[in-house]
Structure 1
Amino acid sequence: MLFLALLLPATSSYSGAFGNISGFVRDKETNIPLPGANIVVEGTNFGAKASKHGYYIIYNLPVGSYNLRVSMIGYSSLKLTEVEVKTDLNTSLDIDLTSRVLNTSEEIVVTAPRVQIFRDLMSSTEYLSEEAIAETTPGLTYHDKLALVPGYVANHIRGSRSSNVQYLIDGLPASGAMTRAAAFTIPTSAIAEMVVQTGGFSAEYGNVTSGVINIITREGRNDFFGALKLAQDLPARRDWTYDNARRAEFAVGGPLKLGLGGPLIDSNYLISGSAYLTDTPYRKELRRTFHTPVIFNYDLNSKLMLRLSSNLFLRWQGLFSNWEWRQYDAAWAGRLSALPKRFNNNSRMDLSIIQTLSAETFYKLEFSALRLRRRVTGTIAGEETTNLILDQSQSLAEVWQGAVEPWWEDLREQHYLGRLSLVRQLNPIHQFRLGFETNLWQISLNRDRFLLWPNGRSAESLVYSRYQDSFRRNPYALAAYFHHKIELPGFLATMGVRAEYFSANTKPALLPSEAAFAVPNDSITVPEPRQEKFHFTLAPRLGIAIPIGNIEHLAVNYGWFFELPPFYYLYTNPAGSVGARWPIFGNSNIKPIRAKAWELTYRRVIAEYSTFTLTGFLRDFDDLIDTFPYANQPTRFENQQQPVFRYENRAKASTSGLEAAYSHRFGSTLQTSLAYTYLTSTGTGSWPESTLLSRS
């Protein structure tokens, strides 16, 4: 790839998620606390004053690197540079001031350690910084960077299913409920930090059993920021197999004064976007039929942070994503002109209010509206066509006579979220977090598609079967959590619990043998209907960390985690159609997937720029989804009785292993990392259709 990048000078920018800085201010000679000392974060409006115990805490600092200035009457002022703030973590920073009687210097400058051990980091978490994403690691998108995370392989984390991974942008959902696939592509120049959690999670995180990928986007500081990146892959001489990929992205941000008929309001803004065009690795085949580009995508991210008062912030964010493409399918290699065009149109609007009520207490109120639409514009087959039989010598292009593949789909999702979080620092030792969350979905799907399966009755033939869906559903979920952190000089512990309640808000579809049917005397036999079930889960979580000096850290965590299954498995085939060769029924009574996990981690700073991590882990999955067969059901396939399948909580899995990672940084432009994961995985099904495929 050929890269061209333009960066306008600026300090590092704010992110959309937050961390804290806390510690004690003491006299360097006597170790006596210094109440009333002032701590100011340069270039921002953040700061704190030390309490009567000399303790201070600065809440809700956006992710990034900061300079702190500490002052007190009778003492030389102190400037601490390059203090790192990470998402959801507390940077512990004790400060010693020197009396002016002993030192007449006006200011003392101290640089924070290049590599730090965060005391309250209880689980395996990889923090990809702004520099690592934009400069020191290869790849065009944030998906490319994930390959560097230990335990991550092709959207699977430590052997889990891909749907067990949750995507967040600035701490809010960024994936669809029907499939749990990521819905947005954020330009790398607009990312302040990417947090990948592969171990346990605190009680604030729900609806996930395997891993969390949280993309923290920038916001402008009081300095202007701008970035432009262009990329193009170029073919080598006599090599015309390249993708013809082109990518452009930009980001601009900075300060802004807003006047709404009153006093001017301090604010910061960020606007970023990207465009991606490619002919894919199948360029040679697809370009014979379709014009370039085969794939077209653009994404836009806009943010505005307003400081309404010294303790009240308001943040608005808008995300937009559009995809248009055709996807190569080997089954249609003989007639690629039949490939239908696909569209994804996604957006998210969110509003956050953060207010500091006192030096020890603040709350955050968040609202989010996520809208997703997926369309496939193939043809709709005639009603008389249900199953097409192919022998091994035939292809779909030969059997299907229509001009375009028989696949028409229109999926719409709307997800409305409201969340309230309250944090109280009771004293330097105890911190409490309490939160409530509500989720409401509006989902509609109209789909008419043919899928290719083994025939089952003949090893030498396949069947092209028709599946139809048409439904509207409104599931909802409620959640609450409590989190308690205890912090002592040589010991930290977190204890939390998360309660969740979910309703699919519909009754399950009936199997043929359960449905009403006519008997010879024209009477009707009506079975007892299956009732809707509500699911309540309670997930305890525990973490313990033991700092060993300033360069070593031992942590262990244990917890229960629950995850809502992709909604497709709850609602598909609501009409109970049995015309396909292998009828599949959804099941709205599917329980949330459960995982029990523990992890033990040792971390050590080897040198100024080097760290080593060793982790052992075990995760057991229960209630995974599989297709369960029900034999001798009346169907319309050749008017014979045959098995039908329903999605149920029938599968289990267990993963365990050992993970070692070493990283070293050479200056600001080169970073090396080496990771090794030894993983063993056992289970009864690798994907939800495992049993169906084995039977067919």
Structure 2
Amino acid sequence: MLLSSRPDAARFVRCRWCAKRPVASRNSIQPRSQEESTMVLRYVLLVLTLCMTTAASFAGITGILAGKITDKEGNAVAGATIRVLGTTRGATSKINGSYTVININAGSYDVRVTAVGYDTLTKRVSIVADQTLTVNFVMNQGGVQMKVVDVSAEREMVRSTDVGTTRVTKGDDLTKVARDNIASALSLSAGIRASGNNFIVRGGRSNETQVMVDGLTVTDQFTGGLGNVGSTISAAMPSPLATEEVQAQTGGFSAEYGNAVAGIVNTVVKTGRTDRFDGQLRWRKDVPFLFGEAGNGIQLGAPNEDVVDVAIGGPMGLGKSTFFVSIRNTFQQYRNAGLEVIDPVGNNWGLLPNNRTWSRNITGRMRFQLDDNSALLVGGSYGMLSGELSGIGWLYANSQGYQTDLFGNPVLDGNGNMIGNGVAERMAKQAIVQEFTTNGFAQLNQTLAGGNTFFELRASYNGKVTEVGKRRSFEAPGIFSGIELYQPTDNMSVDDIRYIENEPNTILDEYESMRQNSFTNDGYNRNETTKRNPITGYYEGPSDAQSTNNPFGLLGYFFNHGNTVGVEFRSSTFYQFDGNITHNLEIGDARHVIKGGFEFRTFDLSLYSNLAPWSGDQFAQSYGRDNVTNPARTRDARTPTTASVFVQDQIMMKGLVLTAGLRMDYLNANATTFDVGNPDSLTPDATNKLNFGPRVSVTYPITQRQNFQLSYGIYYQNAPWSNFF
């Protein structure tokens, strides 16, 4: 049970940099008893060291297993050996029977406990990233049997170490539900909904949720969402077959999570097992006749989706090193399928032509086990998405394009016939949206001597390219290259009779149109007509709906020529350096999990956006790319930097869990600003922003299915970069 107060909307400060959302409640903290001064001094020194030497965090991929080994009479069993099978992790129970195994990759494992004079015991456990799982073992005296298997699996219904509200969906569960992607499956959880281009968490805005894969942000740095097409088909998300687990935090985050005020979704990718090979192949295809009907008998259209997932992983043959790789290919023939509505000539408005989507993702991980306490994780992913954005307005624009000379007249073949391309104008003029997502990282994981401390250091590259425009090629996208689009150029202008090459005029060439006077055969009636563009072979310029070429004979309702969509080419890349250190400390009956970390990002952002490229707009937005229609306004790429630091301590004692932490967020926009109140002032540099966010959470388990929790925190989030530049 989570008791907290949450404002209905985030409060944005004047700088428009961050949203600040407090979550306040009462809490009560009992004073901590001090048993040994040396242990207390060690604890204080460790916290101070973390504060000084670690600088915020990323979502983790490892968890902790802890508990106690006793016999049937409740006496402690010292010296028992605990091994997490399929990994290199293990521990030995102390004199009081307690044990702790740190740095376990999230997933389901068999844990084997052996002790002299006792039967071997095995339990199936489920490790959750950034959580401590408590599992107690009761040993039977004997030692004659080689193995006694306890078939009961340890999977807590409610985890007392959760800070705030966390929904965890295991990878195996993703493959058992009738949803073929992570976003749709996660929407089955309370408070989470895949809508538009991101997840909507507890009614928050779509750009207030951070989406990560292995702690690396995959959201669009310009818009804050997963992309322009939709979260359920995003090429940034890995295959469900590659997913170990998905964590969705819907409020009350601990100090290690930042830059979000609504929710955090982190997908942990499999790295392969050391003891076996795993492989899966899944194919899903729509069966249209199985789609239902509305109450009035109207048929619901099927997207005709075709999805193929392939995954394989296992040992690499280099000691205990492992690998895992997955490929996902998605095709939708009708992206926005709807109810069947038939027009007078037989077109189905619920299944529009040229409304296809292609999405592909390949994700790979290689874990090199350097020794039992050191591992190097190397991984990356590549995603490609191409989508056609068709609409009813263009449905009846069926004329094809023709080869045209510079006077706008069709080129004739040897038989005197016009040379057409066979492509209807509705296909040539629709918007194409493409996204290319790339990331790669190397992460060192080291467990220090004593087995109570481990740290992680990581360097990563993350890139996303988004393209919106009209197609140059009418072929399906390549496997990794997408659809060829027209790139912004301005090398052509017009006069009264022809198109003129090598003469710019602030209008993009592929949107250029020429209006020309013509007369009727008798010479009495003068008309102004549009001539075809020699680059595209179609009538360009602004949208033209002055035609009755539709089954209804209506004028002004359906487009026939021209354009309705502009162009946008944007690229965001950032290099990230981060790390964290975790220490497990026991003082009497209290267990402390102390964690600190840092994160530093440096960005390179470029953009060319022209929403009306046929109008001669000299104020097209551009930085980091040539402003082809107004070169004088070309500006350098934007290069902001962000950093964060956190430290927190989670104290577990007799069922009570207290988590206290502090987070610091820093932003340097590396840009100038403009004072609206003083137009005569120069444009000074934007001030750097530094914010502190304390976090406190108290949890007490009432039953196995219910916790009592109090949380307080201050949360900050950077606005999307499109709001900055």
TM-score > 0.5 by shorter chain: yes
Aligned-residue offset at 1:71: 1.6
Q: Distance in 2 between matches of 1:551 and 1:294?
A: 45
Given that residues 480 and 500 in structure 1 are in contact (C-alpha distance below 8 angstroms), is that contact kept between their aligned partners in structure 2? yes
1:184 matched to 2:236? The reply is: yes
Match of 1:416 in 2: 575
Mean Cα deviation higher: 279-288 or 490-499: 279-288
Given that residues 35 and 53 in structure 1 are in contact (C-alpha distance below 8 angstroms), is that contact kept between their aligned partners in structure 2? yes
1:62 matched to 2:105? The reply is: yes
1:156 to 177, 200, 204: 200
> Residues 296 and 204 of structure 1: is their aligned pair in 2 closer, same or farther, counting only changes over 3 Å?
same
Given that residues 353 and 390 in structure 2 are in contact (C-alpha distance below 8 angstroms), is that contact kept between their aligned partners in structure 1? no
Q: Distance in 2 between matches of 1:467 and 1:330?
A: 31
Q: Distance in 2 between matches of 1:224 and 1:478?
A: 40
1:42 matched to 2:92? The reply is: no
Aligned-residue offset at 1:58: 1.1
* One-letter amino acid of the counterpart of residue 23, structure 1: G
1:233 matched to 2:233? The reply is: no
Match of 2:359 in 1: 297
1:247 matched to 2:307? The reply is: yes
> Residues 552 and 139 of structure 1: is their aligned pair in 2 closer, same or farther, counting only changes over 3 Å?
closer
Given that residues 377 and 407 in structure 1 are in contact (C-alpha distance below 8 angstroms), is that contact kept between their aligned partners in structure 2? yes
Match of 2:247 in 1: 195
Q: Distance in 2 between matches of 1:250 and 1:16?
A: 25
> Residues 248 and 388 of structure 1: is their aligned pair in 2 closer, same or farther, counting only changes over 3 Å?
closer
Given that residues 543 and 561 in structure 2 are in contact (C-alpha distance below 8 angstroms), is that contact kept between their aligned partners in structure 1? no
Mean Cα deviation higher: 41-50 or 387-396: 387-396
> Residues 287 and 210 of structure 1: is their aligned pair in 2 closer, same or farther, counting only changes over 3 Å?
closer
Q: Distance in 2 between matches of 1:107 and 1:343?
A: 56
Match of 2:658 in 1: 493
1:172 matched to 2:216? The reply is: yes
> Residues 200 and 394 of structure 1: is their aligned pair in 2 closer, same or farther, counting only changes over 3 Å?
farther
1:426 matched to 2:585? The reply is: yes
1:18 matched to 2:62? The reply is: yes
Match of 2:605 in 1: 443
Q: Distance in 2 between matches of 1:344 and 1:104?
A: 61
Counterparts of 1:509-520 in structure 2, within 5 Å, are 509=674
Aligned-residue offset at 1:27: 3.7
Aligned-partner SS, 1:131: helix
Q: Distance in 2 between matches of 1:16 and 1:323?
A: 28
1:275 matched to 2:275? The reply is: no
Counterparts of 1:496-645 in structure 2, within 5 Å, are 496-509=661-674, 526-548=680-702, 550-571=704-725
Match of 1:131 in 2: 172
Length-normalised TM-score, structure 2: 0.66
Q: Distance in 2 between matches of 1:467 and 1:248?
A: 44
Given that residues 92 and 118 in structure 1 are in contact (C-alpha distance below 8 angstroms), is that contact kept between their aligned partners in structure 2? no
Mean Cα deviation higher: 555-564 or 383-392: 383-392
Q: Distance in 2 between matches of 1:307 and 1:98?
A: 34
1:97 matched to 2:249? The reply is: no
> Residues 544 and 467 of structure 1: is their aligned pair in 2 closer, same or farther, counting only changes over 3 Å?
farther
> Residues 451 and 24 of structure 1: is their aligned pair in 2 closer, same or farther, counting only changes over 3 Å?
farther
Q: Distance in 2 between matches of 1:61 and 1:394?
A: 67
Counterparts of 1:675-694 in structure 2, within 5 Å, are none
Given that residues 279 and 286 in structure 1 are in contact (C-alpha distance below 8 angstroms), is that contact kept between their aligned partners in structure 2? no
Given that residues 508 and 532 in structure 1 are in contact (C-alpha distance below 8 angstroms), is that contact kept between their aligned partners in structure 2? yes
Q: Distance in 2 between matches of 1:389 and 1:297?
A: 30
* One-letter amino acid of the counterpart of residue 203, structure 1: A
Match of 2:267 in 1: 215
Aligned-residue offset at 1:285: 6.0
Given that residues 246 and 278 in structure 1 are in contact (C-alpha distance below 8 angstroms), is that contact kept between their aligned partners in structure 2? yes
Aligned-partner SS, 2:288: coil
2:371 to 300, 309, 312: 309
- After superposition, what is the alpha-carbon deviation per residue over 1:136-192, rounded to whole angstroms, capped at 9, x for unaligned? x22111111122011123221111110001101012211121112226131111112
* One-letter amino acid of the counterpart of residue 145, structure 1: A
> Residues 277 and 391 of structure 1: is their aligned pair in 2 closer, same or farther, counting only changes over 3 Å?
closer
Given that residues 167 and 214 in structure 1 are in contact (C-alpha distance below 8 angstroms), is that contact kept between their aligned partners in structure 2? yes
Aligned-partner SS, 2:185: helix
Aligned-residue offset at 1:447: 1.2
Q: Distance in 2 between matches of 1:288 and 1:199?
A: 40
Length-normalised TM-score, structure 1: 0.69
Match of 2:184 in 1: 144
Unaligned ranges ≥5, structure 1: 1-14, 259-264, 453-462, 516-525, 572-696
Aligned-residue offset at 1:348: 0.5
Given that residues 389 and 464 in structure 1 are in contact (C-alpha distance below 8 angstroms), is that contact kept between their aligned partners in structure 2? no
Indicate the structure with greater strand content.
1
Match of 2:460 in 1: 368
- After superposition, what is the alpha-carbon deviation per residue over 1:174-217, rounded to whole angstroms, capped at 9, x for unaligned? 11211122261311111121111112111111111110111112
Given that residues 268 and 306 in structure 1 are in contact (C-alpha distance below 8 angstroms), is that contact kept between their aligned partners in structure 2? yes
Aligned-partner SS, 1:429: strand
Given that residues 439 and 477 in structure 1 are in contact (C-alpha distance below 8 angstroms), is that contact kept between their aligned partners in structure 2? yes
Q: Distance in 1 between matches of 2:157 and 2:681?
A: 65
* One-letter amino acid of the counterpart of residue 161, structure 2: D
Given that residues 242 and 281 in structure 1 are in contact (C-alpha distance below 8 angstroms), is that contact kept between their aligned partners in structure 2? no
Aligned-partner SS, 1:22: strand
Aligned-residue offset at 1:235: 2.1
* One-letter amino acid of the counterpart of residue 127, structure 1: V
1:120 matched to 2:125? The reply is: no
Percent identity over the alignment? 22
Aligned-residue offset at 1:72: 1.9
* One-letter amino acid of the counterpart of residue 118, structure 1: R
Match of 2:620 in 1: 468
> Residues 16 and 224 of structure 1: is their aligned pair in 2 closer, same or farther, counting only changes over 3 Å?
farther
> Residues 105 and 320 of structure 1: is their aligned pair in 2 closer, same or farther, counting only changes over 3 Å?
same
Match of 2:506 in 1: 383
- After superposition, what is the alpha-carbon deviation per residue over 1:584-609, rounded to whole angstroms, capped at 9, x for unaligned? xxxxxxxxxxxxxxxxxxxxxxxxxx
Given that residues 450 and 466 in structure 1 are in contact (C-alpha distance below 8 angstroms), is that contact kept between their aligned partners in structure 2? no
> Residues 201 and 214 of structure 1: is their aligned pair in 2 closer, same or farther, counting only changes over 3 Å?
same
Aligned-partner SS, 1:112: strand
Aligned-partner SS, 1:23: strand
2:258 to 203, 206, 213: 206
Aligned-residue offset at 1:330: 5.2
Match of 1:594 in 2: none
- After superposition, what is the alpha-carbon deviation per residue over 1:224-280, rounded to whole angstroms, capped at 9, x for unaligned? 11111111112229969322221111101111123xxxxxx4211111011111122
- After superposition, what is the alpha-carbon deviation per residue over 1:405-429, rounded to whole angstroms, capped at 9, x for unaligned? 4522211111111111011112152
Q: Which has the higher contact order (CA 8 A, sep 6+)?
A: 2
Q: Distance in 2 between matches of 1:548 and 1:451?
A: 63
> Which protein is bigger by CA-based radius of gyration?
2
How many residue pairs align between the two structures? 521
Q: Distance in 2 between matches of 1:539 and 1:430?
A: 21
Given that residues 670 and 685 in structure 2 are in contact (C-alpha distance below 8 angstroms), is that contact kept between their aligned partners in structure 1? no
- After superposition, what is the alpha-carbon deviation per residue over 1:513-556, rounded to whole angstroms, capped at 9, x for unaligned? 855xxxxxxxxxx4243441111110011111112354542222
Given that residues 18 and 63 in structure 1 are in contact (C-alpha distance below 8 angstroms), is that contact kept between their aligned partners in structure 2? yes
Match of 2:436 in 1: 345
Given that residues 60 and 130 in structure 2 are in contact (C-alpha distance below 8 angstroms), is that contact kept between their aligned partners in structure 1? no
Aligned-partner SS, 1:236: helix
